[in-house]
């Protein structure tokens, strides 16, 4: 009887979750007629996913019973910051929103690294988050670079 690899589903879902980052970024190079649509798709999805990453901390703060009140409050506070930043990124000029999102994806990764030092996380989590963060930030920075000339020429 074959046992299933417990790392398979998180990796599969994580990699599939990269498609809404990669596809719009590729189309920014080739589909000039729908440039604004692809840019909106990318920044909107990035905002949603950044919010999702903050929610991890809310969940950990709720389920870990042996946590000090101070640490729980820090985790709950951090958990809402990515959502607020993501929302702001949807309101400001997109070139700045894309850059700010990429910065906060990196910050979120480093926060996750800190979290794994104090709370138990599966062994696959940080390596997967690193891979996903590299692809996400590459897409966002690329899109920011491509957006800038469009804003200047508009």
CA-only gyration radius of the chain, Å: 17
**Residue range 48-82, pLDDT digits in tens:** 999 999 999 999 889 888 888 998 999 999 999 99
Residue 91: alpha-carbon gap to chain centroid: 18
Q: How far apart are CA 124 and CA 27, in angstroms?
A: 31
Helices 8-16 and 125-153: angle between axes, nearest 10 degrees:
0
Instruction: Give the model's pLDDT for residue 154.
Output: 47
**Residue range 14-50, pLDDT digits in tens:** 999 999 999 999 999 998 888 889 999 999 999 999 9
Q: How far apart are CA 153 and CA 35, in angstroms?
A: 14
């Amino acid at each position: 009887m074959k046992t299933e690899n417990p790392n398979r589903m998180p990796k599969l879902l994580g990699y599939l979750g990269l498609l809404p980052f990669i596809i719009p970024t590729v189309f920014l190079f080739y589909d000039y007629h729908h440039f604004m649509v692809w840019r909106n798709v990318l920044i909107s999805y990035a905002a949603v996913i950044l919010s999702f990453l903050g929610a991890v901390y809310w969940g950990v703060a709720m389920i870990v019973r042996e946590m000090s009140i101070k640490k729980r409050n820090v985790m709950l506070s951090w958990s809402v910051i990515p959502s607020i930043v993501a929302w702001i990124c949807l309101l400001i000029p997109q070139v700045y929103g894309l850059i700010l999102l990429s910065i906060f994806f990196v910050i979120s990764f480093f926060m996750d690294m800190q979290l794994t030092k104090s709370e138990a996380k599966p062994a696959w989590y940080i390596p997967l988050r690193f891979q996903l963060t590299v692809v996400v930030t590459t897409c966002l920075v690329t899109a920011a670079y491509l957006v800038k000339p469009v804003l200047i020429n508009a």
